Amino acid sequence: MMQKGAHVSLIFSKGRMSGVRNKIEQFSPYFKKNNVDVYILNRDFDGLINGVNYINYDSLPIARFAKIARFYLIKRLIDFSKYDFVLLRYPLFDFSALFFKKELGKVYFEHHSIELNEIKKAGFPFLFKHLQYFSELIFAPLFLRKCMGHLSVTSQISSHQESRFGGVGKYMVFSNGVSLSDTNLSSSVEILPDLNDKTDSLQVVFVASEFKAWHGLDRLISSLKKYHGEKSIEVNLVGFISDELLTDINSLNNQKVNFILHGSKSKEDTIAIINGAHLGVDSLALDRIGFEVSSTLKSKEYALLAKPFISTTPDQDFRSYEGTVWKKIDCQNESFDFDGIVSWYEKIHNEVVYFPKETLSWDYKVRELIKQVTS
């Protein structure tokens, strides 16, 4: 009999969860296909939406303590007795883990970052940041080491968690995937480039649900200030942009460069904007939070829509395609040579690139993960 599982995410932000929601709604059908229910504990939505069980905890009395009693909140809202295993997006440590010992025996934690590095860079209040950092450093390995194992989006994160938690349990890489149906691709492995350039400008697209420090939009802006090439550059930004970054964009004095601010867009609109571009931009500053290997959703979308892209950090799934599918940029003094990027694009954009795109799909990744979890 197939084991019954759950995938659980706890979201604290209100009104700004489109990125996480988009990812989870993409992979939800494939978890359901493998007998795994998907939950998002959040402050915006309630009910079954696009196959995801949304639980709005905002009106509960415990909501005001959610950030310091994460494990208690999860235990209260999820019926662990229904499941053989639970894949829990790691919520950072707090001492309500003392009440989570029974549930821990069914849990695989899912890690999207090296948490200690992320806490250092987070905009938490001073006292809370230091309390969280030392709790994560000292107490997390002690209280949580009896879980079933850990899923990590990259091999670097997986190695870090294995050393941190003493090698107890299974350690698996579960990198980000994509829904092939969203990109309207056939089943062939052949990925054709965009051969129909209809404009003299280079159309660039940069996608983030909300531009954070690790996305490195500031580095792109600084680089374009120094751009001296003949080709005009038009940058399409999709996502929420802070006032500080808007000020940087507005102060950019280069007549060859134009920014188009699309704001937050639906999945369908985002795909359409990517389709209309020549070159994608992946995260440009993951080194700020200690990443040496990445796994982003947008890198997969760019590649599957035949858009070469640039990044500072190799993607878990594209490390062997550097120079063809993507180009690694070298930042010096928080900027890079965008003239060189244009030259690279003009050199490779007519090439045909082959890679097994089915292995990038959520269908494949979820199926292989559940095999490992239940074996």
Residue-wise pLDDT for 147-198, tens only, equals 999 999 999 999 999 999 988 899 999 999 988 876 654 333 334 344 344 4
| Cα torsion angle, 45, 49, 52, 55, sign | positive
pLDDT of residue 18: 73
pLDDT of residue 200: 82
Rounded distance between C-alpha atoms, residue 79 and residue 348, angstroms: 52
Contact 132, 92 (CB under 8 A): yes
Contact 4, 340 (CB under 8 A): no
Residue 235 confidence (pLDDT) above 90: yes
Rounded distance between C-alpha atoms, residue 127 and residue 35, angstroms: 42
Rounded distance between C-alpha atoms, residue 367 and residue 364, angstroms: 5
5-177+362-374 against 190-355: fold identical:
yes
Rounded to an integer, the average pLDDT of 61-84 is 94
The structural domains of the chain, with segments of one domain joined by +, span 5-177+362-374, 190-355
Q: Which is nearest to 280 in space by CA: 302, 258, 247?
A: 302
pLDDT of residue 183: 62
pLDDT of residue 117: 87
Residue 1 confidence (pLDDT) above 80: no
Q: Which is nearest to 274 in space by CA: 207, 354, 209, 341?
A: 207
CATH superfamily of the domain spanning 190-355: Glycogen Phosphorylase B; (3.40.50.2000)
- Helix then strand then coil, in percent of the chain rounded to 5, is 40, 20, 35
Question: What are the residues facing 150 on neighbouring strands?
Answer: 109, 171
Mean of per-residue pLDDT scores for the chain:
91
Query: Which amino acid, residue 277?
Result: A
Rounded to an integer, the average pLDDT of 229-247 is 96
CATH superfamily of the domain spanning 5-177+362-374: Glycogen Phosphorylase B; (3.40.50.2000)
Question: What are the residues facing 86 on neighbouring strands?
Answer: 6, 107
Extract the tokens encoding 205: 């697209």
**Going edge to edge, which strands form the sheet with 202-210?**
257-263, 233-240, 202-210, 279-281, 309-311, 326-328
Compute φ and ψ for 143, nearest 5 degrees.
Answer: -85, -25
Compute φ and ψ for 206, nearest 5 degrees.
Answer: -135, 120
- pLDDT (tens digit per residue) in 106-142: 999 999 999 998 898 788 888 989 999 999 999 999 9
Instruction: Say which residue, 301 or 282, is predicted with more confidence.
Output: 282
Residue 269 confidence (pLDDT) above 60: yes
- pLDDT (tens digit per residue) in 196-218: 444 689 999 999 989 999 999 99
pLDDT of residue 182: 66
Percent of the chain whose predicted confidence (pLDDT) is above 70: 95
Cβ neighbours, 10 Å, residue 38: 23
Query: Which amino acid, residue 254?
Result: N
